[in-house]
Amino acid sequence: MATKAPTQAQQGVTKSLSGSNAAFKDKGKPMELRLSNMVAAKAISDAVRTSLGPRGMDKMIQTSKGETVITNDGATILKSIQALHPAAKMLVDLSAAQDVEAGDGTTSVVVLAGSFLGAAEKMLQKGIHPTIIAESFLKASAKAVEYLTEISTPVDLNDKGSLLRAASTSLNSKIVSQYSSTLAPIAVSAVTRLITPTSSNVDLRDIRIVKKVGGTIEDTELVDGVVLNQNVVVSAGGPTRIEKAKIAIIQFQLSAPKPDMDNTVVINDYRQMDKVIKEGRQYILNLCKRIKKANCNVLLIQKSILRDAVDDVSLNFLKRLNILVVKDVERDEIDFLSKSLACKPIADIEASQKTSLECERSLHDALCVVRCLVKKRALIGGGGAPEIHVSRLLSQYAQTLKGMEAYCLQAYAEALEVIPTTLAENAGLNPIAIVTELRNRHALGERNAGINVRKGLISNILEEDVVQPLLVSTSAVELATETVCLLLKIDDYVQSR
């Protein structure tokens, strides 16, 4: 009797697809590791997501010293999180990188990274190779930057109105949003004073923010000069006000020298003691005379931990020489003061506190926004308008592609919608209805349509003066994509000794 030949499956032979459309079956450990990285990173993203936008929630952080910090600034929140997982630490570093590059958008960049990771996870589950996903995401990122640049509006740095609108938009998402009309002009004036016709960047270390408890935020003012935290020394009755000041900074002490810590001087004879005191007075007097000889009438003295910066003897001499004294200037202030006062330091001769801290962080972000406009002189709308616009164009571009790349670009485009969705959620609106209407308005050609969270509707975001620097958005997209691609390419985790 004839028997039927066994099939390939019965013989243990399996057929597999070949080419770029073949499903990727990873070994157990690398897939588990990727998913572990994604879960850890998305947990960080979810932690700051509720802080996005002008209606975002604030976080209360308790430091290791027991102090309490209240903020909704993404970089500050993530800096305080004690992340243990390596992938979670990468998102903390991502926020810090955005803070260095643009100074604003630190929450947006982490939320975007979390959304891209969610899209990548779906692609992995469909059997697409991580390298293909990473390459497709980088291609999508380059296209997104191109589309954002197309819709941006060039800015002239002499147009103070545009700079004010950008600074106000940054401040409107902070705790101090009601004071944006006070703080925004200060931020713009401070940065524009440092700009030269050829400037391509501004060093914000040349702008110093001094916090004082007492009064209100409305009392904040821009001082064209230097403000010190230290008080004038008045114990010896020296001058407290000097006009036409000639300022000197010294990094040594105007007090009698002391022996090293390991050495002790023992004096038994009172005549020797008188001699030591007399020599000490003469030493200080010589120093004071040389300071006066330099035509100095205001003296700033660096703080010292080894011995007193000044003593009663030196203060008495300085009073007679009519020199105003400010002591205990911190070491990290010396460079700023030297630059501001155009002098070289001489090392030797031969509100409630919490509100003021948050105000400082908010003002720093506003300063960074104006600096961004110096680096890349273009503005785009806010309110989720650019993200929806780029998402639509990327979806259309994905339809012209074939194979797995088209799937990946479509997933990337959908992931960009996390920004308008989160803005709507945090404002207490219906995210599905709002984002659907936003898509429709953009499909009808209203590319500046965005979410007006204050009125709870879709409107022309440029008419509402909700704008942000182009650099903030392009930097956020590029940095978030690069971080996600880096996480996708990791297939093992080795702990070094």
The Cα–Cα gap between 43 and 83 comes to 10
DSSP β-bridge partners for residue 61 = 69
Tell me the two tokens of residue 384: 């989720």
Would you call 378 helix, strand, or coil by DSSP?
strand
> Residue 146's CB: how many other CB atoms inside 10 A?
12
Residue 313 and residue 287 in contact, taking contact as beta carbons nearer than 8 Å: no
**Euclidean distance between CA atoms 114 and 145, whole angstroms:** 19
pLDDT in tens, 60-73: 888 777 778 888 77
Question: What tokens does 128 get?
Answer: 């697409």
Given a cut of 50, whether residue 416 has pLDDT beyond it is: yes
- Identity of the residue numbered 168: S
| Stretch among 141-155, 191-205, 269-283, 352-366 having the lowest mean pLDDT | 352-366
Closest-CA residue to 165 (of 471, 466, 377): 466
Cα→Cα distances 382→213, 270, 447, 463, 473, Å: 34, 78, 11, 11, 9
pLDDT band of 13, cuts 50, 70, 90: very low
Non-local (6+) Cβ contacts of 400 within 8 A are none
- Cα(245)–Cα(140) distance, rounded to whole angstroms? 59
59 backbone dihedrals φ, ψ, rounded to 5°: -115, 140
**Is this structure's pTM higher than 0.85?**
no
Buried b (16+ CB within 10 A) or exposed e, 104-116: bbbbbbbbbbbbb
Question: Could you report the per-residue pLDDT of 352-394, keeping only the tens digit for each?
Answer: 566 677 777 777 778 888 888 888 888 888 888 899 999 999 9
Q: What is the pLDDT of residue 139?
A: 92
Q: pLDDT by residue (tens digit) across 121-180?
A: 988 888 888 899 999 999 999 999 999 999 888 888 888 888 888 888 888 777 777 878
Beta bridge partners of 204: none
Confidence of residue 10 (pLDDT cuts 50, 70, 90): very low
Query: What is the mean predicted confidence (pLDDT) over 1-30?
Result: 48
314 close to 236: Cβ distance less than 8 angstroms: no
